Amino acid sequence: MNGVLIIDKPSGFTSHDVVSRVRRILHQRAVGHLGTLDPMATGVLPLVIGNMTRLAQFYLASEKSYEGVIRFGVATDTYDCDGETIGEPRLVSLTLEQAREFGASFRGVIEQMPPPFSAKKIQGVPAYKLARKKKDVTLKAVKVEVREFEILNVDGACAQFRARVASGTYMRSIAHEMGKLAGCGAHLESLRRTAVAEFTLNEAHTLEDLDGAARGGEVSDLLVHPRKLLPLLPSVTATEEVASRIRHGRPINLPELSRAKEVKVFYGQHDLIAISTRVAGTLFHPRIVLV
């Protein structure tokens, strides 16, 4: 089986947990994900299956969208609701204007300190492994881009938000830093990812949906249509002769796409067989072959 499947990740599962579950359901070893979600978070987790795992390299810098809730008055060591409380909780009642004023500081390109409980590596060791052993975790601030961050409403100590960010941005860190600005501490109480690149919740399926489809032999009905993948790349439908050259890793001539840097090559309407890169003029060489 080859394809892209969007799972609506449940809370309490790591991204690896979901991959392992899907491997068992599909009886397929080649399954990977396109962007980690924290265990407490839910929402869009794109999975690549079979030969489509080769597409992962095109999604390393994918934009992501979120909805969530920040709770003020309580800081935690993980910056989210799964962590241990730091200090004494405080009673807080924010106004919408106050929350929006704090949030305005986190739009655009900002310097962000990753959470100590994160997958960032320190001398080859993930930070969360060191943090769990109560060892010092020294991380460096990195530049991230927050393209949209809007406080939608406030209810007591909780602020609901919507965000659209570049890859590598931690919403947990934004919640933590907003708590510092407010002078009362804060953490990320809930987080739901609504989009990764071109994939949205509208295309997402639960693990229970997948299990039922697998039992009924209908998994293909849940997969994203290949024509929807990598929408910014132009497509070409290959003849049998061109498809044969592609399958053998040989270059092809595409005069109608002379200005494109990369193209998706299909055989028929459904089979994505390669991503090809222009090497000179109208000559394209397969960057990856998917058949």
Q: Please list the helix, strand and coil fractions of the chain in percent, rounded to the nearest 5, in that order.
A: 30, 35, 35
Select the CATH number that applies to the domain covering 3-62+198-224 from these four: 3.30.2090.10, 3.30.2350.10, 3.90.1280.10, 3.40.50.300: 3.30.2350.10
Q: What is the pLDDT of residue 54?
A: 96
Closest Cα partner for 175 from 45, 63, 285, 82?
82
pLDDT, tens digit only, all 291 positions of the chain: 899 999 999 999 999 999 999 999 999 999 999 999 999 999 999 999 999 999 999 999 999 999 999 999 999 989 999 889 998 999 998 999 999 999 999 999 999 988 876 555 444 544 444 445 455 566 788 999 999 999 999 999 999 999 999 999 999 999 999 999 999 999 999 999 999 999 999 999 999 999 999 999 999 999 999 999 999 999 999 999 999 999 999 999 988 887 899 999 999 999 999 999 999 989 999 999 998
With CA atoms as reference, report the closest residue to 177 among 104, 233, 235: 104
Angle at 228 (CA atoms; ends 226, 230), nearest 5 degrees: 95
User: Given this model, what pLDDT does residue 198 score?
Assistant: 97
Provide CATH 3.30.2350.10 ranges for the chain.
3-62+198-224, 64-188
Non-local (6+) Cβ contacts of 18 within 8 A are 7, 9, 33, 45, 47, 207
Q: Respond yes or no: is residue 38 known to be catalytic.
A: yes
Among residues 8, 17, 38, 271, the one annotated as catalytic is 38
Domain 64-188 class, CATH top level: alpha beta
> What architecture is the 228-289 domain classified under in CATH?
Roll (2.30)
Cα separations (Å) of 111 from 77, 107, 161? Answer: 20, 11, 20
- The residue length of the chain stands at 291
Among 62, 16, 2, 56, smallest CA distance to 193 is for 62
Q: Give the C-alpha separation, 69 to 94, whole Å.
A: 13
pLDDT the model gives residue 211: 97
pLDDT of residue 258: 78
CATH 2.30.130.10 domain range(s) in the chain: 228-289
How many C-beta atoms surround the C-beta of residue 221 within 10 A?
9
Task: Please give the backbone phi and psi of residue 256, each rounded to the nearest 5 degrees, phi first.
Answer: -75, -10
CA triple 120-125-131, angle to 5 deg: 75
SS3 per residue for 75-103: EECCCECCCCEECCCCCCCCCHHHHHHHH
176, 182 contact by CB (below 8 A): no
The pair of structure tokens assigned to 62 is 């994918």
pLDDT at 255: 86
The whole-angstrom separation of Cα 235 and Cα 227 is 8
Query: Under a CB-based contact definition with an 8 Å cutoff, are residues 191 and 68 in contact?
Result: yes
